[in-house]
Every structure is written in C-alpha cells, then in structure tokens.
Amino acid sequence: MRIATWNINSVRLRIDLVTKLLNESDIDVLCLQETKTEDKFFPSAALADAGWNHHAFRGEKSYNGVAIISRLPLGQIHHKDWAEKIDCRHICAQIENGPSIHNFYVPAGGDVPDREENPKFGHKLDFLSEMTHHFTDQRPQNAILVGDLNIAPLAEDVWSSKQLLKVVSHTPVETEALKRLISDGGWVDVVREHFGADEKLYSWWSYRARDWATSNRGRRLDHIWMSHDLAPSVKMVDIRTDYRGAEKPSDHVPMIVEV
C-alpha cells in the first residue's frame, strides 16, 4: 500500500496535479490539506473518473480543509475539533483491511512566536497540547498520522537552524512540543527514521523565493508518523521535490510511504 500526504493549497486549482500524482506514483491513499473548498464543491467526480472512488473530506470556503482520497473503501470516518475551534483541520478514516489514518492540518501560528502578543501562536500551542493529551490517553495501534504539522522539529529539517530559531515553525517551544507529541503520543517519525538523522529533508519552500531550487531554503513541515506496531512495515519513502517545480505549484510537495 502506498500512502501520500500533500498540502495542496487549493484542490480545485490543482486537481490536475493531484490526479497526475495519483497515477504517476501509483498512490492507494492520498491525504490532502488546505483543500480550501466547501464540501459541495469538492472535486469528487474528477477523482472518481481517475479511479479513486472513495473520499472523506471536510472543507470550508477559502481556508483550511482536509481530505482522504482512496482506491480502497473507507470506514469509521470521523473527526475532532481541536483547541475549541471548528475549522476543518482533522479527519480520520479506517482503510478497508488496513490502518486508520489521521490527517491533520496544524495551525501555522502567525508571525510572532509569543502567545500573549499573537493569539494565533497560542492557538497552535493549544492544538499541539490537546493532540498530545489525546494520543497519550488513546495509544495508537495500526495507525498512521500524516499532514502539514507546520513545524520542522530538527536542525536537519531546516536550511539554517541558527537563523530560524526565532522564526515560527522552528522555535524551541514548538519543536519541543512536537517531539513530545511523538514520544508521549506513541508515534514513530518514519520519514526521518528512513533517511537517518543527518540528511537534510525539506517539504516546503516559500513562494517568496525567486528561485526556490537554487536558494533551497526549505523546511520539513509535512510529516508521516506510524504507531510502533506498524512502523517496521515501511518499505519506501519518497519526497517528490519535483512537484515544487510544476506549473502553478503548491509551496509544499507530496511525501509518500509504502507499507
């Protein structure tokens, strides 16, 4: 089974890139974030025509939104609203004869890493804290967690840890919170495990860069984690950086695992 995650930054705008990835990489299950569309406008027909008939999604106009697209039937579809907000940042489904998949879009947190000065940063920290308590209490088994978690936890996950220590997504309070979510919540960061501790890994490059590939100032904001019982089954991990160079690309690229 091949499972992918991708912050698509508008599924309707980039539906051709989505179907290209599904076919080109032989994806069984694709989790999308920032779909940016109301449920009534989700492109179910185009995905079904491409051969992916099973969908679970939660969307809202212009912001947020998550979706799970699958070749295989989906069951036990549910979601949770985190940090006392209803904002379409989580959906979970059980893959037929397979694992349950949690798809998250964690808040970005604004520009100022101070919860008193910036309520968006406080929302992000509360969201992570609630996730940690939830998975600590309900230890995951036969489970996968994917998504744009908007944190690059390690020095090897950013182009310059020294220069980004005071920049939202790599501040110590965020990185420690994410590491605590992994350890206390019962997860394994299978992408980092696959590539090893020393390799630089990025999944996002800012639109502001004139030449993203040359400057290569990336961050690994997107993640795939697995419960401890499932993690040893990983056979392949691929980060499709070529999709950042597509016409009208998302600023994130797809990340794929095979189990």
Q: pLDDT band at 147, cuts 50/70/90? A: very high
- pLDDT at residue number 248: 96
pTM of the model: 0.98
- pLDDT at residue number 153: 98
Distance CA 34, CA 228 (A): 28
pLDDT tens sequence across 61-113? 999 999 999 999 999 999 999 999 999 999 999 999 999 999 999 999 999 99
Q: Average pLDDT over the chain, rounded to whole?
A: 97
Domains and CATH numbers, the chain: 2-258 (3.60.10.10)
| Interacting residues of 56 by C-beta distance below 8 A, sequence separation 6+ | 67, 68, 74, 77, 91, 93
Q: Is residue 185 a contact partner of residue 132, using CB atoms and an 8 Å limit? A: yes
pLDDT tens sequence across 224-255? 999 999 999 999 999 999 999 999 999 999 99
Q: What stretch of H or E contains 185?
A: helix 172-185
